[in-house]
Structure 1
Amino acid sequence: MGHDEHEHPGLAHDLRRMAQVIERRQALRWLAAAGLLPLLGCGNDDASGGTSDAGSGSGDGSCSVSPEETAGPYPGDGSNGPNVLSTSGVVRSDIRSSFGDMSGIAEGLLTTVTLTLVDTNANCAALSGYAIYLWHCDRDGHYSLYSEAEQNYLRGVQVTDSNGIVSFTTIFPACYSGRWPHMHIEVYPSVASATGSGNKIKTTQLALPQDACNAVYATTGYSQSVTNLSRVSLASDNVFSDGYSSELATATGNATDGYTVALTVGIAV
């Protein structure tokens, strides 16, 4: 009872098709690992950030490798001067105060930062047990340990939970001259390895959405940020100008009660 040739091309055809599928999957896996796949489902390059879904949840296949960015001149990770990661107490969720031998509290609008770490090689699966180091400038545009040498506030480490999530309580940072408002992120394989820059596996940045910046900078204490923000854009910023879709966070809340800022960070494991 043979089949017509036009209905079934035969075993040789099937084997060729299988080889093509395998080759395509291998190529996609290589491109993802190299960070060369196009951005998928991560919003658009809209400076307002109002409709960006860069901070959306994981596990739906719509994530990309977060761009590798500079840690800047004030990392506090031992790569340029002081190393806050070696200070007992750096693993904490509320980073508004200094700790260890230092004291002081950063003034500013209450802000919660929620980061979700995902594996871009595994359909955006959540990554648990990794350590994320977050740091940013204060309300005056200064970085602790550097221009604020007697402080180490606005720096801290958290470990991702079973959903790949970490959460920090902090303040909304300033816009200082020449840079779009942002936060710095380093990812480490574990909290035990989060002791210095030599162990990090990702350095990236979080861009704050313009709507939230405008609202916050109209409040008391942020007046100098208004002028600085008017002189820069995401398109002209020396970090975000080459594309910021996967770095533009979402922000919910208001300038009275505070904001929640969210971003998905993708790495290729």
Structure 2
Amino acid sequence: MTDSSNAAVIPFVIEDEDRGGNPVERLLLAEAVRMAEAIVFASTEPVTEKALLARLPDGVDLPHVMAELRTHYEKRGVNLVRSGDAWAFRTAGDLSFLMSRDTVQQRKLSRAALEVLAIIAYHQPVTRAEIEDIRGVETSKGTLDTLLETEWVRMRGRRKTPGRPVTYGTTDKFLDHFQLEEIRDLPGMEELKGAGLLSARMPSNFSVPLPPPDLDALTEDEEPLSDIDLEELGLLTPRIESD
């Protein structure tokens, strides 16, 4: 164990544009930054802004605090990154090769699962029937189950149409895995062409859909999943009525 008395301490320096400002406010901001750093560092999962606000002092300017913390880690071995509404520390991109020996080999997704994942990411909220219409082939329940198990995809709600089909969307874990701050950071058509994922000779009317900015909010043609829905879908243990 390293002797903490000999450990190098790198203080947070909060700089105002004119080096002025209220010294007390700068001190409070620096302390809030330290607290946010401790909370995010200690968590094994990305920490939501709601969770941070619940543990930081009342009235704290969270965007300012996280901007200061992110700047502090910009040129270090780990960076502070935002994924959706959550924050986490991640190895700096240019140093990821150092971790390659410790990387756990994960099961690769099938081509069908990757296609379905891409459709959900770009077209969400989307139903199974709509996925099949876009792909032109039937989508097995096993493919959707695999994506749900990765926790990159979730059941959002039900479409307000006959049969009330389940709608699917992505999660913050999807954003975190693919290093996206928000769903609108998905590559556009020109980026996809540049990466060789789309033919340069696409139909003139072809376009890449833009997902909604707020993935948590249901759309007008969706309704929330009820407890009965969750029981039917196997997401909630059925209630046992007492005599």
* TM-score normalised to structure 2 length: 0.23
Structure that is richer in helix per residue: 2
Which fold has the larger relative contact order, with Cα–Cα distance below 8 Å and residues 6 or more apart in sequence? 1
Structure that is richer in strand per residue: 1
* TM-score normalised to structure 1 length: 0.22
